[in-house]
């Protein structure tokens, strides 16, 4: 019934007397009229504010933006300008970041199955750190070194045996994980010993990441404790405690701020007497709440006594999270941002399957009609970045809005783009 909580909108969102939403000084209805829908609108000031908060809380050089959450060249430059390092988890992410002009020395290279080519590119370009995920990767680094490659500074990713309270698909700190060297079975200690005597790598620290969209500060404190205790044996200069801070997606959710997260992590480090440089890798908490996705309603189907379906012009191709994880979102009409939402409906996309759901149980204004714009807030992380071309639907553009100016940082895909890699 109740209106959309304003706290779910980007920082610079304003609503005029008639209920119309502006972000970054730009009227959302006008943006949709000019650029079409679906459309990702990012509040640049919001992203910068979260970067600054993180750098202020953890210290310069100690915050690594996880580009998997949202990446394009403008985003890479923005994060770099704001004093963040960048976490890349594939050769492709490294390519986009360096194509943006960000130096490889500002990048940390991740991944649980880095190919020889990816490792060669990362080391040749001179990334700041390679985060080694397993023994096979140490073998590959040995071989590359034997082939004449320089010696990279590496961190070892440790699986601390801490089960974060989050969706099973994004929990990564438990023993049963594809990521990292297990602490419990001695693999982590064996990996440290091997790396320390290897001529192919320079071991500079340890890394862990317990999962994503974690709300419980206690999970971070617990992982910090386990990692600090293990790291104390080795006296290495760096300790990286991953990303994972959750954000509020729907009414009633309340996530810690970046500053509160820092207090939990750094407080635990202080208590444990950690002397290493402690850094973190936030993705979601930097960009999620900065963006809204704007769609157009194309069909309303009422099945009396069963359900109302509201179909929009995007769907699981621009936001697979509801289908993958059952993630919840809110929706509203940007022409009536603060309106009551008595209409219960399922918001679906335009893809050819029943699983194509954006909001399983949406609440919307009663006067919603075909042709209305419908917006979903908190779509700035893992939406665009996990998008697809399912049904050959072109991907939406990304706009950065700031001080009344909107700039296209990723243009809308065309039908010809769909043929760009199709060599016939
Ligand atoms: N560091 C490492 C090593 C990671 O694997 C991740 C995320 C991060 C940092 C950033 O975590 P964040 O602060 O964004 O939670 N697609 C899923 C999330 C997958 C996260 C993967 N790793 C989702 O949409 O919820």
At 69-108, the pLDDT tens digits run 999 999 999 999 999 999 999 999 999 999 999 999 999 9
Residue 186 lies in a domain: yes
Same-domain check for residues 258 and 306: no
Same-domain check for residues 186 and 293: no
Residue 63 lies in a domain: yes
Distance 379 CA to ligand 1 centre (A): 14
CATH of the domain at 70: 3.20.20.10
Q: Which atom of ligand 1 is least distant from the CA of 213?
A: 15
**Is residue 269 flagged as an active site residue?**
no
Final residue belonging to a domain, choices 252, 285, 318: 285
The pLDDT assigned to 42 comes to 99
Distance 327 CA to ligand 1 centre (A): 15
Residue 227 lies in a domain: yes
Final residue belonging to a domain, choices 225, 258, 285: 285
Q: Which atom of ligand 1 is least distant from the CA of 321?
A: 24
Question: In total, how many domains does the chain have?
Answer: 2
Same-domain check for residues 39 and 50: no
Same-domain check for residues 15 and 77: no
Q: Is the CB of 238 under 6 A from ligand 1?
A: no
Final residue belonging to a domain, choices 243, 270, 285: 285
Q: Which atom of ligand 1 is least distant from the CA of 167?
A: 25
Distance 340 CA to ligand 1 centre (A): 34
Same-domain check for residues 16 and 137: no
At 131-167, the pLDDT tens digits run 999 999 999 999 999 999 999 999 999 999 887 777 7
- Segments of the chain scoring below 50 in pLDDT: none
Same-domain check for residues 31 and 77: no
Distance 337 CA to ligand 1 centre (A): 30
Same-domain check for residues 306 and 296: yes
CATH of the domain at 321: 2.40.37.10
| Ligand 1 site-directed mutation target among 68, 93, 324, most atoms within 8 Å of CB | 68
Residue-number span of the structural domain to which 329 is assigned: 6-43+288-419
The pLDDT assigned to 1 comes to 67
Residue 154 lies in a domain: yes
Q: Is pTM beyond 0.95 here?
A: yes
Among 51, 208, 269, 352, the active-site one is 352
Same-domain check for residues 145 and 34: no
Residue 1 lies in a domain: no
Same-domain check for residues 298 and 259: no
Same-domain check for residues 24 and 61: no
Same-domain check for residues 36 and 51: no
Query: For every residue of the chain, which 3-state class applies, written as one string?
Result: CCCCCHHHCCCCCEECCCCCEEECCEEHHHHHHHHCCCEEEEEHHHHHHHHHHHHHHHCCCCEEEEHHHCCCHHHHHHHHHCCCEEEECCHHHHHHHHHCCCCHHHEEECCCCCCHHHHHHHHHHCCCEEEECCHHHHHHHHHHHHCCCCCCEEEEEEECCCCCCCCHHHECCCCCCCCCEECCCCHHHHHHHHHHHCCCCEEEEEECCCECCECCHHHHHHHHHHHHHHHHCCCCCEEECCCCECCCCCCCCCCCCHHHHHHHHHHHHHHCCCCCEEEECCCHHHHHHHEEEEEEEEEEEEECCCEEEEEECCCCCCCCHHHHHCCCCCCECCCCCCCCCCEEEEEECCCCCCCCEEEEEEEECCCCCCCCEEEEECCCCCCHHHCCCHHHCCCCCEEEEECCEEEEEECCCCCCHHHCCCCC
Residue 424 lies in a domain: no
Q: Is the CB of 321 under 6 A from ligand 1?
A: yes
């Amino acid at each position: 019934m109740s209106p959309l909580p304003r706290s779910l909108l980007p920082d610079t969102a304003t609503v005029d007397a008639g209920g119309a939403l502006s972000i970054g000084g730009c009227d959302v209805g006008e943006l949709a009229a000019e650029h079409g829908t679906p459309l990702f609108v990012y509040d640049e000031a919001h992203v910068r504010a979260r970067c600054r908060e993180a750098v202020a809380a953890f210290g310069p050089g100690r915050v690594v933006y996880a580009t998997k959450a949202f990446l394009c060249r403008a985003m890479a430059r923005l994060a770099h300008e704001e004093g963040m390092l960048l976490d890349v988890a594939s050769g492709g992410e490294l390519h986009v970041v360096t194509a943006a002009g960000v130096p490889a020395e500002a990048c940390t290279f991740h991944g649980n199955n880095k190919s020889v080519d990816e490792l060669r590119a990362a080391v040749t370009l001179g990334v700041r750190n390679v985060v080694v995920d397993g023994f096979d990767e140490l073998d590959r680094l040995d071989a590359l070194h034997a082939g004449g490659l320089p010696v990279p500074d590496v961190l070892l990713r440790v699986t601390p045996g801490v089960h974060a309270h989050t969706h099973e698909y994004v929990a990564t700190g438990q023993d049963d994980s594809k990521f990292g060297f297990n602490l419990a079975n001695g693999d982590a200690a064996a990996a440290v010993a091997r790396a320390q005597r290897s001529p192919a790598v320079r071991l500079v620290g340890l890394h862990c990441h317990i999962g994503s969209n974690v709300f419980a500060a206690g999970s971070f404190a617990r992982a910090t404790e386990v990692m600090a205790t293990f790291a104390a044996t080795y006296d290495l200069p760096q300790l990286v405690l991953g990303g994972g801070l959750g954000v509020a997606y729907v009414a009633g959710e309340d996530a810690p701020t970046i500053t509160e997260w820092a207090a939990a992590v750094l407080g635990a480090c202080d208590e444990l007497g950690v002397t290493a440089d402690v850094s973190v890798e936030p993705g979601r908490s930097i960009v999620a709440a900065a963006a809204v996705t704007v769609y157009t309603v194309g069909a309303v189907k009422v099945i009396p006594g069963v359900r109302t379906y509201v179909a929009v012009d995007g769907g699981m191709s621009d936001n697979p999270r509801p289908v993958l994880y059952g993630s919840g979102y809110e929706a509203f009409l940007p022409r009536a941002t603060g309106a009551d939402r008595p209409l219960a409906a399922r918001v679906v996309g335009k893809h050819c399957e029943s699983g194509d759901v954006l909001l399983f149980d949406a609440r919307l204004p009663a006067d919603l009609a075909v042709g209305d714009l419908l917006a979903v807030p908190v779509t700035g992380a893992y939406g665009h970045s996990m998008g697809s071309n399912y049904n050959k639907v072109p991907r939406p553009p990304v706009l950065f809005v700031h001080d009344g100016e909107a700039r296209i940082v990723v243009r809308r895909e065309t039908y010809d783009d769909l043929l760009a890699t199709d060599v016939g």
